[in-house]
Amino acid sequence: MTVTAPAGFRAAGVAAGLKSTGAKDVALVVNDGPRFDSASVFTANRCKANPVLWSQEVVKDGTVRAVFLNSGGANCYTGPEGFQTTHAVAEEVAAKLGIGAIDVVVCSTGLIGLTNDRDQVLAGAAAAFDALDADGGDDAAHAIMTTDSVSKQVVVEGAGWRIGGMAKGAGMLAPQLATMLVVLTTDAVVPAGDLDTALRAATRVSFDRLDSDGCMSTNDTVTVLASGASGITPTPEDFTAALTQACTDLAMQLLEDAEGADHEIAITVLHAATEDEAVEVGRSVARSNLFKAAVFGNDPNWGRVLASIGTTSAQFDPADLDVAMNGVWVCKQSTPHADPATVDLKPREVSVTIDLKSGSERATVWTNDLTHAYVHENSAYSS
Amino acid sequence: MTVTAPAGFRAAGVAAGLKSTGAKDVALVVNDGPRFDSASVFTANRCKANPVLWSQEVVKDGTVRAVFLNSGGANCYTGPEGFQTTHAVAEEVAAKLGIGAIDVVVCSTGLIGLTNDRDQVLAGAAAAFDALDADGGDDAAHAIMTTDSVSKQVVVEGAGWRIGGMAKGAGMLAPQLATMLVVLTTDAVVPAGDLDTALRAATRVSFDRLDSDGCMSTNDTVTVLASGASGITPTPEDFTAALTQACTDLAMQLLEDAEGADHEIAITVLHAATEDEAVEVGRSVARSNLFKAAVFGNDPNWGRVLASIGTTSAQFDPADLDVAMNGVWVCKQSTPHADPATVDLKPREVSVTIDLKSGSERATVWTNDLTHAYVHENSAYSS
């Protein structure tokens, strides 16, 4: 499973004491080659964590040989000392592997504003190096969990090559350009430029369409590493399709494990003038606390859907909107249609379909409901 | 108190059966002159309710003689039949008063997508006309309540003239250009053009700075009526100041009664490059569910404040932001400063101060925390 499924990769997950629970909190993923192509996308949040500031420089030349990840602290808004910790752990990993620190991506997750003990982090890196294993992907996937209740892993099979992946994320889950921490690996031969094109295409329709709670993280990082160990060069179309499948699978795992959620909600916008407008409309509904609280209460409150659509700049006629919930068209031409009582919202999976009647583009945005448990988890997180 | 405090106004609030509880649900405010100047602002939501579509036409000539209001149904997304109900009730009120329907503003509030019985609404208008009284303001203020737990009323004294006001609103409370239903009255002599200028100035820094739950209503209407009955013409500055005081007072009453809220939160942004950027930053924090849930849990989680600021396009250096909570600077230069444990968030009133260090403008945005009770009320609202 996971990041060690493709040939040419080793990984590890160990407990370094960053989590007070004693659970695994440091992960390492190493590309043993023969190629070291990579691509990454990072959070669009302008307040970026120290590991993001570091890793943005690392990925510029398209070569990455290892990814170090820790949970138990986001190393965000921790100032120059925090940046030095990121730099030091990249140096430590590089020294152990006999490579340059500038080829080591660093990712951190956990509380913002918390300064991790540098010696503890460095000791964790050394322990992870010692534990590196061709079957270590599962340990690594567990070590990056924070409020996640399950680890998120994926394997997609190509023709003689594979893609593996792991992700973490359960809150502050409204990525733009990236989401949470995600490491993807492949043994296909994919030059860095093609890898970048494929990754941006894949994240645009997967992680970028996920908006669990409207809150954009400071640490979001998605990195893909290509070892070329299979010796096979897939077509760009085949590889992009497989990478999109892997990213979508991980995004759905994030959605299903979102903090406190009772429902997974897919909001599909049809007949938009542009794809961007379809996404804008979907996201406006995904960010309506009133709509999300209604779904929690199994209430097919389509009025709140229309009220959200009305806040966007998308093209549509306010008097001619259709809305379906779980396939029942409860609103046609902006007036009541089928009886909402026939909509059963008890199952976890909910679909909302909006027809803008303004063009031929479409998009789906995924979100969760707003629950007592969400409020509870996020009011008690740091205590 | 309230809209009948200034000379020249009568009002009423009666039960017409629109609310299943039997509570008052129809209000009428009548300007008896001698002048009939008016100004209004309406929701910026593009999906507007039928009474808003009607009233936008009514107010164009600056003359309004009566405002009819009902709770128990928003008359929104109810199609042509709903619009005809709005028109019919304006005609009914006009016939009773011996005026033209085009001088009658109509406001409705309650569930979206619910069609009220037209005969019930018309009978309510007739009953309200019969109940009109120079002391009827309090009844009117109660008749427009929905999930409000208390009525909202205000009186501001000028030099020989007064402003009175009433408001309703407890959810879907993120007005832009107006909020919920608000009727303001004055016996000052203020020509319609000056009234419009004063109203826009007053709402811009009061209702427009309130963002309780990020959800913009379809029915928001603020109307001010000037009877001139005092015979006194205040300076524009004096009148605008008094009107701003009345609007701010009502906005704070809305804030304090917001659905399920445990805290009132004032987010003040200092040293912004422009006032608009200060509002943008304040609103981004006001819309962070994670920040709002943290306040509910009395957790001074300033990391979530910075993560929200980072989503805006305002001018600032991400490495040089200061944040105070209840006067304690928990973050300086984007790093931890005073111990957050010294911040006591138990009192209802919470202040957040953000220093952008990028200019000389400032603004305050008001919001509430995100609570179990908010989720509960809004998941059960229509059931």
pLDDT digits (tens, 9 = 90+) for A23-34: 999 999 999 999
Q: Out of B44, B304, B318, whose CB is closest to A48?
A: B318
How close is the nearest chain B Cα to the Cα of A22, in Å? 24
- Per mean pLDDT, which of A348-352, B215-219, B254-258 is the most reliable? A348-352
Q: What is the rounded CA–CA span in Å between residue A10 and residue A286?
A: 38
Q: What angle do CA B175, A291, A308 make, to 5 degrees?
A: 45
Q: How many CB pairs under 8 A join A and B?
A: 197
Put simply, the answer to whether A289 touches B216 (Cβ < 8 Å) is no
Q: Out of A217, A306, A382, whose CB is closest to B47?
A: A306
Report the candidate in B196, B16, B32, B154 with the shortest Cα–Cα distance to residue B103: B32
SS3 assignment, position B168:
strand
Asked if residue A85 has pLDDT above 80, the reply is: yes
Put simply, the answer to whether A304 touches B112 (Cβ < 8 Å) is yes
Instruction: Please name every residue paired with A167 in a beta bridge, in sequence order, or none if there are none.
Output: A152, A182
State the average pLDDT for chain A.
Answer: 91
* Cβ(A227)–Cβ(A35) below 8 Å: yes
Q: Nearest chain A Cα to B309, which residue? A: A47
SS3 assignment, position A153:
strand
Interface confidence, given as ipTM, is 0.81
Asked if residue A206 has pLDDT above 60, the reply is: yes
* Cβ(B218)–Cβ(B49) below 8 Å: yes
SS3 assignment, position A241:
helix
Instruction: Give the pLDDT score at B230.
Output: 94
Q: Ramachandran region of residue A9, left (φ > 0), alpha (ψ -120 to 50) or beta?
A: beta
Helix A192-204 vs helix A236-256: angle between axes, to the nearest 10 degrees? 40
H or E segment to which residue A79 belongs: helix A79-97
Q: Is the peptide bond before B234 cis (omega within 30 degrees of 0)?
A: no
Burial (CB count within 10 angstroms: exposed 0-12, middle 13-18, buried 19+), residue A50: buried
CA neighbours closer than 13 Å in the CB half-sphere of residue A194: 16
Put simply, the answer to whether A47 touches B297 (Cβ < 8 Å) is no
Q: Nearest chain B Cα to A322, which residue? A: B77
Instruction: Please name every residue paired with A354 in a beta bridge, in sequence order, or none if there are none.
Output: A269, A323
Q: Out of B304, B372, B382, whose CB is closest to A372?
A: B372
pLDDT digits (tens, 9 = 90+) for A157-200: 999 999 999 988 876 666 654 447 888 999 999 999 999 999 99
- Does A311 appear as a known binding residue? no
Report the candidate in B204, B145, B219, B213 with the shortest Cα–Cα distance to residue B174: B213
Q: Nearest chain B Cα to A285, which residue? A: B215
Put simply, the answer to whether A307 touches B218 (Cβ < 8 Å) is yes
- Per mean pLDDT, which of A201-205, A289-293, B63-67, B174-178 is the most reliable? B63-67
pLDDT digits (tens, 9 = 90+) for A344-363: 999 999 999 999 999 999 99
Amino acid at B339: D
Amino acid at A230: S
The CA-atom distances, in angstroms, between B356 and each of A215, A297, B316, B317, B360 are 20, 40, 6, 8, 10
Q: What is the rounded CA–CA span in Å between residue B257 and residue B255?
A: 5
Instruction: Give the pLDDT score at A178.
Output: 42
- pLDDT classification of B221: cutoffs 50, 70, 90: confident
Put simply, the answer to whether A303 touches B112 (Cβ < 8 Å) is yes
The CA-atom distances, in angstroms, between B44 and each of A302, A308, B79, B256, B279 are 19, 12, 20, 23, 17
Instruction: Give the pLDDT score at B1.
Output: 62
Higher pLDDT, A3 or A222: A3
Q: What is the mean pLDDT of residues A64-83?
A: 92
Amino acid at A88: A
Q: What is the mean pLDDT of residues A99-111?
A: 94
Q: Is B179 a catalytic residue?
A: yes
Put simply, the answer to whether B293 touches A79 (Cβ < 8 Å) is no
Asked if residue A295 has pLDDT above 90, the reply is: yes
- pLDDT classification of A82: cutoffs 50, 70, 90: very high
H or E segment to which residue B200 belongs: helix B192-204
pLDDT digits (tens, 9 = 90+) for B64-109: 999 999 999 999 888 899 999 999 999 999 999 999 999 999 999 9
Interface test with A, best of B262, B379, B382, B383 (most A CBs within 10 A): B379
Put simply, the answer to whether A378 touches B294 (Cβ < 8 Å) is yes
Percent of chain A residues topping a pLDDT of 90: 70
CATH number corresponding to A2-256 = 3.60.70.12
Q: What is the rounded CA–CA span in Å between residue A218 and residue A59?
A: 18
Instruction: Give the pLDDT score at B381.
Output: 57
Burial letters A363-382, b for 16+ CB under 10 A, else e: bbbbbbbbbbebbbbbbebb
- pLDDT classification of B168: cutoffs 50, 70, 90: confident
Q: Out of B77, B289, B312, whose CB is closest to A215?
A: B289
Q: What is the mean pLDDT of residues A77-101?
A: 95
Instruction: Please name every residue paired with B325 in a beta bridge, in sequence order, or none if there are none.
Output: B328, B352
How close is the nearest chain B Cα to the Cα of A344, in Å? 14
Q: How many helices (H) and strands (E) does chain B have?
A: 10, 15
Instruction: Give the pLDDT score at A381.
Output: 56
Interface test with A, best of B53, B112, B287 (most A CBs within 10 A): B112
Of A2, A4, A43, A179, catalytic: A179
Phi–psi pair at B110, nearest 5 degrees: 140, -155
Q: Nearest chain B Cα to A316, which residue? A: B46
Region of poorest pLDDT, from A124-138, A272-286, B369-383: B369-383
Put simply, the answer to whether A303 touches B76 (Cβ < 8 Å) is yes
pLDDT digits (tens, 9 = 90+) for B300-344: 999 889 989 988 999 999 889 999 999 999 999 988 999 999 999
Instruction: Give the pLDDT score at A193.
Output: 93
SS (H, E, C) B339-374: CHHHCCCCCCEEEEEEECCCCCEEEEEEEECCCHHH
Asked if residue B178 has pLDDT above 50, the reply is: no
List of chain A residues whose C-beta atoms are within 8 Å of the C-beta of residue B215: 288-290, 304, 307-308
Computed on alpha carbons and rounded to an integer, the radius of gyration of chain A in Å comes to 21
Of B2, B147, B179, B186, catalytic: B179
Interface test with B, best of A116, A180, A215 (most B CBs within 10 A): A215
Report the candidate in A268, A358, A374 with the shortest Cα–Cα distance to residue A321: A358
List of chain B residues whose C-beta atoms are within 8 Å of the C-beta of residue A216: 307, 310-311
Query: Which residue, chain included where needed, has tokens 């120079």?
Result: B134
Q: Is the peptide bond before B34 cis (omega within 30 degrees of 0)?
A: yes
Interface test with B, best of A289, A309, A321, A333 (most B CBs within 10 A): A289
Q: Which residues contact A366 (CB under 8 A, 6 or more apart)?
A: A209, A210, A211, A212, A251, A252, A255, A264, A265, A266, A267, A286
pLDDT digits (tens, 9 = 90+) for B337-349: 999 999 999 999 9
Instruction: Give the start-to-end residue ranges of the domains of chain B.
Output: 2-256, 264-380
Task: Quote the DSSP letter at residue A347.
Answer: S
pLDDT digits (tens, 9 = 90+) for A304-353: 899 899 889 999 998 899 999 999 999 999 889 999 999 999 999 999 99
Amino acid at A3: V
Asked if residue B146 has pLDDT above 50, the reply is: yes
Put simply, the answer to whether A372 touches B374 (Cβ < 8 Å) is no
Put simply, the answer to whether B379 touches A321 (Cβ < 8 Å) is no
- Does A19 appear as a known binding residue? no
Q: Out of A48, A82, A371, whose CB is closest to B375?
A: A371
- pLDDT classification of A205: cutoffs 50, 70, 90: confident
Concatenating the DSSP letter of every residue in B73-117 gives B---S-HHHHHHHHHHHHHHHHHHHTS-GGGEEEEEBS-TTPPPP
State the average pLDDT for chain B.
Answer: 91
Q: What is the rounded CA–CA span in Å between residue A17 and residue A120?
A: 7
How close is the nearest chain B Cα to the Cα of A1, in Å? 33
Region of poorest pLDDT, from A84-98, A126-140, A356-370, B179-193: B179-193
Instruction: Please name every residue paired with A70 in a beta bridge, in sequence order, or none if there are none.
Output: A26, A108
Higher pLDDT, A47 or B24: B24
List of chain B residues whose C-beta atoms are within 8 Å of the C-beta of residue A285: none
Looking at the domain covering B264-380, what would its CATH class be? alpha beta
- Does B81 appear as a known binding residue? no
Put simply, the answer to whether A331 touches B378 (Cβ < 8 Å) is no
* Cβ(A174)–Cβ(A211) below 8 Å: yes
Asked if residue A257 has pLDDT above 80, the reply is: yes
Task: Quote the DSSP letter at residue A327.
Answer: T
List of chain A residues whose C-beta atoms are within 8 Å of the C-beta of residue B173: none
Q: What is the mean pLDDT of residues A361-372?
A: 92
Q: Let me know how long chain B is.
A: 383
Q: What is the mean pLDDT of residues A81-99?
A: 97
Q: How crowded is residue A361: how many other Cβ atoms within 10 Å of its Cβ?
A: 17
Phi–psi pair at B236, nearest 5 degrees: -55, -35
Put simply, the answer to whether A290 touches B378 (Cβ < 8 Å) is yes
- Does B383 appear as a known binding residue? yes
List of chain B residues whose C-beta atoms are within 8 Å of the C-beta of residue A287: 214, 287
List of chain A residues whose C-beta atoms are within 8 Å of the C-beta of residue B293: 374-375, 378-379
Put simply, the answer to whether B113 touches A376 (Cβ < 8 Å) is no
Burial letters A186-219, b for 16+ CB under 10 A, else e: bbbbbebebbbbbbebbbbbbbbbbbbbbbbbbb
Q: Out of A213, A287, A318, whose CB is closest to B47?
A: A318
